[in-house]
Amino acid sequence: MNKNSSNIMALTPNTSNKRETVCIYGTGDFGRALGHKLIQSGYPVVYGSRSTQISNLIPKDAEVLGHAEAAQKAAIIIIAIQRQHYNFLTPLAEVLRGKVLVDISNNLKLNQYPESNAEYLAQLLPGSKVVKAFNTVSAWALQSGTLDASRQVFVCGDDVEAKQMVMNIVRALGLTPVDKGSLLAAQEIENYPLQLFPMWKFPMFLSLGLTAFFFFYCLALDVIYTYIYENNNFSFFIAITIPNRVCPVMALILLALVYLPGIFAAIIQLYRGTKYHRFPDWLDKWMLCRKQLGLIALAFASLHAVFTLVTPLRAFVRWRISKGIIAQVLSNKTEPLNNTNAWLSDSYLALGILGYFLFVLLGITSLPSVSNNVNWREFRFVQSKLGYLALILCTAHTLVYGGKWFLSPSAYKWYLPNIYILSLIVPCAVLVVKFVLIFPCVDKPLTQIRQGWERNPKYSE
Candidates 68, 182, 438, 444; binder of a second copy (CB under 8 A) is 182
Distance CA 274, CA 289 (A): 24
From the CB of 127, what's the least distance to a second copy, in Å? Answer: 19
Binding to a second copy (CB under 8 A) within 66-105 occurs at: none
Binding to a second copy (CB under 8 A) within 432-461 occurs at: 450-452, 454, 457-461
Binding to a second copy (CB under 8 A) within 367-386 occurs at: 367-381, 383
**CB nearer to a second copy: pick between 42 and 417:** 42
Binding mask 130-169 for a second copy (x = CB under 8 A): ------xxxxxx-xxxx-xxxxx-------x---x--xx-
> Could you say whether residue 212 binds a second copy (CB under 8 A)?
no
Candidates 21, 112, 211, 347; binder of a second copy (CB under 8 A) is 347
Candidates 73, 275, 413, 434; binder of a second copy (CB under 8 A) is 275
Handedness of CA 219, 223, 224, 225 (dihedral sign): positive
Which distant-in-sequence residues (6+ apart) come within 8 Å of 217 by Cβ?
416, 419
Residue 37, burial from CB neighbour count under 10 angstroms (0-12, 13-18, 19+): buried
Distance CA 216, CA 213 (A): 6
Which distant-in-sequence residues (6+ apart) come within 8 Å of 424 by Cβ?
252, 395, 398, 399, 402
Number of residues that bind a second copy (CB under 8 A): 157
Distance CA 86, CA 223 (A): 64
Closest among 112, 109, 83, 94 to 25, alpha carbons compared: 83
Candidates 196, 230, 410, 440; binder of a second copy (CB under 8 A) is 196
**CB nearer to a second copy: pick between 146 and 415:** 146
Distance CA 133, CA 155 (A): 5
**CB nearer to a second copy: pick between 204 and 422:** 204
Which distant-in-sequence residues (6+ apart) come within 8 Å of 261 by Cβ?
283, 286, 287, 290
> Could you say whether residue 1 binds a second copy (CB under 8 A)?
yes
From the CB of 140, what's the least distance to a second copy, in Å? Answer: 6
From the CB of 10, what's the least distance to a second copy, in Å? Answer: 9
Distance CA 210, CA 251 (A): 11
**CB nearer to a second copy: pick between 24 and 432:** 24
Which distant-in-sequence residues (6+ apart) come within 8 Å of 413 by Cβ?
221, 225
**CB nearer to a second copy: pick between 358 and 424:** 358
**CB nearer to a second copy: pick between 206 and 422:** 206
What is the distance in angstroms between the CA of the first residue and the CA of the last residue of the chain?
72
Which distant-in-sequence residues (6+ apart) come within 8 Å of 115 by Cβ?
123, 187
Binding to a second copy (CB under 8 A) within 17-76 occurs at: 18-19, 27-29, 32, 36, 42, 49, 51, 53-57
What phi, psi does 328 have (nearest 5°)? -60, -45
Candidates 108, 126, 335, 440; binder of a second copy (CB under 8 A) is 335
DSSP codes joined into one string, 370-423: HHTTS-HHHHHIIIIIIHHHHHHHHHHHHHHHHGGGSS-GGG-GGGPPPHHHHH
From the CB of 439, what's the least distance to a second copy, in Å? Answer: 21
Binding mask 383-402 for a second copy (x = CB under 8 A): x-------------------
Choose one: 248-256, 286-294, 410-418, 435-443; the region binding a second copy (CB under 8 A): 286-294
From the CB of 434, what's the least distance to a second copy, in Å? Answer: 17
> Could you say whether residue 193 binds a second copy (CB under 8 A)?
yes
DSSP codes joined into one string, 262-318: HHHHHHHHHHHT-S-SPPPHHHHHHHHTHHHHHHHHHHHHHHHHHHHHTGGG-HHHH
Cβ atoms 131, 122 nearer than 8 A: no
Looking at residue 60, its amino acid is K
Candidates 105, 117, 128, 187; binder of a second copy (CB under 8 A) is 187
Candidates 110, 208, 425, 432; binder of a second copy (CB under 8 A) is 110
Choose one: 70-78, 345-353, 406-414, 428-436; the region binding a second copy (CB under 8 A): 345-353
Candidates 21, 72, 226, 302; binder of a second copy (CB under 8 A) is 302
Beta-carbon-side half-sphere exposure of residue 309 (alpha carbons within 13 Å): 8
From the CB of 131, what's the least distance to a second copy, in Å? Answer: 15
